[in-house]
Amino acid sequence: MRVATAAPGEAAGGVVDERSVGDLLLDADVTAREILWDPNPGTAKAKVRTWGEVVEAAAELWSAIPDRTRDPSMARIHELTVGLHRTQQRTRWPGHGEPDPHLESVASNLARATELVSSRRHPTAPLSEPGHLDSQAARTRIMHVLYVSAHGVGAAVRQHARDLQRTLDAKHRLAPGESVSQARDLTARIRTTERLAGSYLQDRWPAGLLGQHRDPVEPARLEEALARWDVQARRSLAGPPSAANVLYTTMIERDLTLGSAVITAAAAGGGLSGAQEHAERARPALNELEVAWGRLGHDLGQLTGRQRRIDAELLHAGSEARAALREITHDLGGLASSDTMAGRVDLRATSMELQRGLAAGVDLAHVVRDVVGDPQLTVPARGARALCAGSGTDEGLGAWVNAGDLCHDRVVPLPQAARDVLVDHAGQVIAAAATLDSASAFLGGGPSPTLTPPSLPGRAHEDRAVPGPVMTSPGYGCER
């Protein structure tokens, strides 16, 4: 569902979010799927705390979208979640704490989409047939977001309950505030939500998305978004060092690398660039860079903790870059085919634009390494110790983190062992980005550069040069 004419919203600092309803729903869907990659039991409580916000935002958006059929599916899920919230208040499980960043982003996207729909919807205007199909597609996407989110939350809580049971069997006691029975009961109730959402999607996913409205892709959108991201990333990273800003930068760069791999593969398959060069050089280099950004992002993810406030302008520049790329690479329930992408944009021109972005990424990787190596970078104590413990470095006589700081999870300077890990992994990103920059030189699909300079009329360069005294230059690497 795309509302291109919707009034853009403003966040703190007057930053304008120019994404459409379709962009926001797709971002929410992709973000929800990322939860499935890592059902970490350590994040189970945070996911449970944020789950209610996701359902509440989905229910509000569902109500804002006009519906001829008055389908009660969302109302049932919403009532189940309200009852679950009452139980959490009564049992005080999972208790107070930090929200899950992925689900928090999903809820934020759904809430923003509700603002756009509500601001443009006429309460009494009849719904046309294309509008009806578009609204059905939007509801299908919303329900899929809930279905995937419920599965991710349930998987994390189920694993958390198993870990608690093993601890109970071994020690015959649990830490205050923990409960195996509450975790198991919550798993069963979330599974009910997952089944209700799955039954709605039974005959609708992804067929229900066929009726969604899509405006033609604006040719300059990706170019402008990449340029804005490149400039804003450097500006934000030039300020006081922040683990949240660096983590968000690595996430966006990883997504841009993945999107570049999809588009360049489509261009190579369509004969717009060398297929053999792509298979032998560019594709392995793209994969290596994606892994390098992901590895660094995993490290930084352990360090953010409560420091998850991202610079508003950086956040919106990254969101627009993602949206501009996914507008080309995604279709219905997954990635678009090569023919579909070729029908939306000029793949050769898009590949060249992405090549310029990848070339700029080499310098951005250097900036990231400078930030993670900055002695002024501070992080939560528990995340710092977790990264140090996973580095394989011996703690020795001196503790990585003070015990008091660790107990209260205070913000501390990044320990040297953790800094060494980050700097090393950032160096791997630099090496992979440089390799890709070299390997992607053919993406434009044009002729190879001429090695011999063309003959020009007039005197030779040596004849035109101004003579000067003969001096011996210092050797390479010599400093004076």
How does pLDDT run across 212-254, given as a tens digit for each residue?
A: 888 899 989 999 999 999 999 999 999 888 889 999 999 999 9
Q: Is the pTM of the predicted complex or chain greater than 0.75?
A: yes
Same domain assignment for residues 235 and 141: no
For residue 379, the one-letter residue type is V
Same domain assignment for residues 430 and 288: yes
User: What average pLDDT does the segment 419-446 reach?
Assistant: 82
In this prediction, residue 123 carries a pLDDT of 58
In this prediction, residue 93 carries a pLDDT of 84
The more confidently predicted of residues 75 and 177 is 75
The fraction of the chain above a pLDDT of 70, given in percent, is 84
Q: Which helix (H) or strand (E) holds 412?
A: strand 411-413
Which conformational region is residue 266 in: left (phi greater than 0), alpha (psi within -120 to 50 degrees), or beta? alpha
**390: containing domain:** 221-442
Total domains, the chain: 2
Q: Are 367 and 433 in contact (CB under 8 A)?
A: no
Same domain assignment for residues 311 and 228: yes
First-last CA distance in the chain: 64
Point out the domain boundary residue: 209, 236, 265: 209
User: Can you read off the two tokens belonging to residue 135?
Assistant: 């609204």
User: What average pLDDT does the segment 292-298 reach?
Assistant: 93
Interacting residues of 136 by C-beta distance below 8 A, sequence separation 6+: 204, 208, 211
pLDDT at 321 over 70: yes
pLDDT at 59 over 90: yes
Same domain assignment for residues 263 and 336: yes
Look over the chain and give the mean of its residue pLDDT values, rounded to a whole number.
83
User: What average pLDDT does the segment 249-274 reach?
Assistant: 88
Q: Which DSSP state fits 441?
A: G
Same domain assignment for residues 358 and 300: yes
Q: Are 382 and 410 in contact (CB under 8 A)?
A: no
Same domain assignment for residues 403 and 329: yes
φ, ψ dihedrals at 16, nearest 5°: -95, 130
Point out the domain boundary residue: 185, 209, 233: 209
CA angle at residue 430 from 427 to 432, to 5 degrees? 110
Same domain assignment for residues 264 and 290: yes
Q: 112 lies in a domain?
A: yes
Q: 17 lies in a domain?
A: yes
Q: What number of other Cβ atoms are within 10 A of residue 417's Cβ?
A: 20
Q: What number of other Cβ atoms are within 10 A of residue 164's Cβ?
A: 21
Q: Are 24 and 110 in contact (CB under 8 A)?
A: yes
User: Can you read off the two tokens belonging to residue 376?
Assistant: 């002024």
User: Can you read off the two tokens belonging to residue 140?
Assistant: 């299908």
Same domain assignment for residues 126 and 155: yes
Q: 79 lies in a domain?
A: yes
User: What average pLDDT does the segment 278-307 reach?
Assistant: 85
Same domain assignment for residues 29 and 151: yes
Q: 480 lies in a domain?
A: no
Interacting residues of 475 by C-beta distance below 8 A, sequence separation 6+: none
Same domain assignment for residues 97 and 239: no
User: What average pLDDT does the segment 20-25 reach?
Assistant: 94
Segment 61-117, tens digit of pLDDT = 999 998 888 889 999 999 999 999 998 888 888 888 888 889 999 999 999 999 999
Confidence category of residue 392, pLDDT binned at 50, 70, 90:
low
Q: 396 lies in a domain?
A: yes
In this prediction, residue 471 carries a pLDDT of 39
Point out the domain boundary residue: 209, 239, 267: 209
In this prediction, residue 325 carries a pLDDT of 95
Q: 457 lies in a domain?
A: no
Q: 49 lies in a domain?
A: yes
In this prediction, residue 426 carries a pLDDT of 94
Same domain assignment for residues 228 and 171: no
Q: 156 lies in a domain?
A: yes
Nearest alpha-carbon partner for 214 in 320, 294, 133: 133
Nearest alpha-carbon partner for 28 in 55, 68, 46: 55
The more confidently predicted of residues 128 and 326 is 326
Confidence category of residue 454, pLDDT binned at 50, 70, 90:
very low
Same domain assignment for residues 415 and 300: yes
Q: Which DSSP state fits 16?
A: E
